[in-house]
Structure 1
Amino acid sequence: MTETTNKTAAENTPAPVSKEFQLEDSLHKAEDFFNKNKNSIIIALLVVVVVVGGTFAYSKFIKGPNETKAQNMVFHAQQYFERDSFRLALNGDGNYEGFLQVIDKYGSTKTGQLAKYYAGVSYVKLGEFQKGADLLTAFNGGDQVVQAMAYGLAGDAYMELNQTDKGIEYYKKAGHHSDNELTAPTYLFRAGLALEKANKTADAVAIYKEIQSKYPQTAEGREIEKYLARLGEVRSN
């Protein structure tokens, strides 16, 4: 059941981005990113729900049973999430409880933390961006890649709220949280676009050059020269 729970976040994570921001016109849409990297994200999410033991008594008599209860509770919410029934995933259906109830009862468990991630994505999908951002920024998964994803999705939510400075902040957090080619160049690129939107050209150039230097073989790295060129940064031969 835990494995089924983990698969769904990777398949349904993408958050919408406003037309004004125009990320949908780039090669870096959330749908493409998560679909292309689904297997890596599933592995990362499997790590998130591993129970890290404290003392033997606490793990056996409190933490362990609570983790099991949380996993049992989250199963049906995950099924609704998979079917894009986000309100039922959040609130339950009257017979089974949703992510919000899992968070309320078992928010301190690993599964409870993962429920925050699911719930945050659900709110963003429903267009309730502030609630989504609040949960995604409260998420503490313990895994570098998944945490970076949560920060990046929070950045998307803040951009939808026209809170560009916060969007930039969380895109940078996402890009710098985990030095890998899966998430870092994607969210640094979004930070660059957001900085351009905020007319912070010099900062955007710095971010683009960071991508160019650190991740030249990624999709973002291969395309970055044209973004630098439109800001007046042309590489001399």
Structure 2
Amino acid sequence: MADKIKQGVAETFDASQSSEAFFSKNKKVILGAIAAVVIIIAGFFLYKSFVAGPREEKASTALAKGQEYFNSEQFDKALNGDGAGYVGFARIADDYSSTDAGNLAKLYAGLCNANLGKWEAASKFLDSYSPASDVMVSPAAVAALGNAYANLNQLDKAVDNLKKAAKMADSKDADGANSSLSPLFLIQAGEILESQGKKDEALTLYQDIKKKYVNSMLVQTSEIDKYIERASTK
């Protein structure tokens, strides 16, 4: 999982690329990372649900089929149901909103919509998801919300959520610096700031990455210096 995220972080982005191209490329990296994390922890949520009472158990049973569709990238069926008994993440999120499984269904529904390019719906589901205190899924979910806002051209909200995601990831790391997730989120925030003409703010983010996340691929390969140099050019 960490290797996959680091690989995404290490990718470079030419200054001539359009913002749309950047968002599209990063969407795949971020959503892929989140999906992988969700799949890994899904078993934990299901176990927790099965011992938490009948309502949780029923929600978890409904969720399991959707996870199969999600894992096989059948996002429309995962989201809206298959017409053969499985009702879809959107319906599960609504019917079981007070349960842990229902909350997870909101995250899945948001990711499904994002993968289908339905960014307005994605933002609503991801915003309704209640982050927990975990080190990986919740920060990644907040970053996914930021990515949705970016694709809706709500760039200030996008930057705020990406910064929030990095802060959340750092707060759960023993060293106070999550070198796998946080640089990825902050790099995207910096690119968005550059697209807004806010080079000074982007430069500050890039410099902070170099100083704080010394174990990240961006810093160890000196890739961050390219971002710093670009943002320093007036």
The two structures have a TM-score, normalised by structure 1, of 0.76
Mind listing any 5+ residue stretches in structure 1 that lack a counterpart?
A: 1-6, 53-58
CA distance 1:138–1:187, change in 2 (3 Å): same
Which position in structure 1 is the counterpart of 2:92? 102
* Whole-Å separation in 2 of the counterparts to 1:172 and 1:50: 32
Q: CA deviation at 1:201?
A: 1.2
1:159 aligns with 2:150: yes
**Residue 111 of structure 1: which of 84, 96, 101 is its match?**
101
CA distance 1:198–1:50, change in 2 (3 Å): farther
Q: Deviations over 1:151-209 (max 9, x none)?
A: 11111111111111111111111111111122111101111111111111111111111
Q: Deviations over 1:127-147 (max 9, x none)?
A: 110110111122124123211
Q: Is the 8 A contact 1:49 1:110 kept in 2?
A: no
Amino acid at match of 1:85: Q
Which position in structure 2 is the counterpart of 1:75? 64
* Whole-Å separation in 2 of the counterparts to 1:25 and 1:225: 23
Which position in structure 2 is the counterpart of 1:223? 223
* Whole-Å separation in 2 of the counterparts to 1:83 and 1:145: 22
Q: Deviations over 1:44-73 (max 9, x none)?
A: 555555649xxxxxx97xx52111111110
CA distance 1:172–1:47, change in 2 (3 Å): farther
* Whole-Å separation in 2 of the counterparts to 1:73 and 1:122: 16
1:84 aligns with 2:73: yes
* Whole-Å separation in 2 of the counterparts to 1:185 and 1:166: 18
Amino acid at match of 2:80: N
Q: What's the secondary structure of 1:162's corresponding residue?
A: coil
Larger mean Cα displacement after TM superposition, 203-212 or 92-101: 92-101
Mind listing any 5+ residue stretches in structure 2 that lack a counterpart?
A: 9-16, 171-177
The two structures have a TM-score, normalised by structure 2, of 0.77
Identity %: 32
1:125 aligns with 2:124: no
Q: CA deviation at 1:232?
A: 2.2
Larger mean Cα displacement after TM superposition, 128-137 or 39-48: 39-48
Amino acid at match of 1:184: S
Amino acid at match of 2:94: D
* Whole-Å separation in 1 of the counterparts to 2:147 and 2:70: 19
CA distance 1:20–1:30, change in 2 (3 Å): closer
Which position in structure 2 is the counterpart of 1:175? 166
Q: Is the 8 A contact 1:139 1:147 kept in 2?
A: no
Larger mean Cα displacement after TM superposition, 198-207 or 224-233: 224-233
- Give the superposed CA RMSD: 3.1
CA distance 1:41–1:19, change in 2 (3 Å): farther
